[in-house]
Amino acid sequence: MPKTMHKTLVLCGPSGSGKSTLIKKLTAEFPTAFGFSVSHTTRSPRPGEVHGSAYHFVTREVMKDMLSKGEFIENAEFSGNMYGTSFAAVESVVSDDSKICILDIDAQGVRQVKVKEEFLQPLYVFINVPSMEVLEERLKSRNTETEESLARRMSAAKAEIEYGTTTGVFDTVIVNDDLDRSYNELKSFILSRISHIIS
């Protein structure tokens, strides 16, 4: 497969798949090559989350206004909270031609991105889990889930994995069973497909 000038790296996977950890490793190793698109959300900040860094925390009214103006590339609602990636957030990263914008989005978001591929020129990576049992253990170990929210996340994960492992939807699928191995696989794949990461 020839190397191309991708503008975005789309990472998708169920909550608990390790996407955030892989993104942190990638941006730590290649700080000048990647930029992270900061999403908007109506949910409350978790301890340690900073507005404008983790998310742009906004009211439902602000989010709905932005949606009505067509300001989002993708948006979704989960557990009563709205989430979205704005065109402005991505543009602020890709306006620097040497940077690739990382989008950490769910399957619903990927479906929306696929109709806007011309602007984004994305490379799609699905981060999977070794098993549903492992995923459940990872989510429980966070100590942030109630029985109800855990059940919702597991149900969402099942649908997400079904979509993520459908042939042709993603450019590659990486099973995150070992962080170092998974990261090396992700890095090798990206470097094989994106021409301007290493100058």
What HEC string does the chain produce? Answer: CCCECCCEEEEECCCCCCHHHHHHHHHHHCCCCEEECCCEECCCCCCCCCECCCEEECCHHHHHHHHHCCCEEEEEEECCEEEEEEHHHHHHHHCCCCCEEEEECCHHHHHHHHHHHHHHCEEEEEEECCCHHHHHHHHHHCCCCCHHHHHHHHHHHHHHHHHHCCCCCCCEEEECCCHHHHHHHHHHHHHHHECCCCC
Distance CA 195, CA 199 (A): 9
Domains for the chain: give ranges and CATH numbers. Answer: 8-193 (3.40.50.300)
> Which pLDDT tens digit goes with each residue over 78-105?
889 999 999 999 988 888 767 899 998 8
13: left (phi over 0), alpha (psi -120 to 50) or beta: left
> Which pLDDT tens digit goes with each residue over 138-171?
888 887 888 888 888 899 999 999 999 999 999 9
pTM of the model: 0.85
pLDDT band at 196 (very low <50, low <70, confident <90, very high): low
What is the pLDDT, as a whole number, of residue 28? 93
Closest by Cα among 103, 63, 101 to 80: 63
The encoded tokens of residue 52 equal 């404008």
> Which pLDDT tens digit goes with each residue over 50-63?
888 889 999 999 99
Question: Which residues are the active-site residues?
Answer: 46, 142, 153
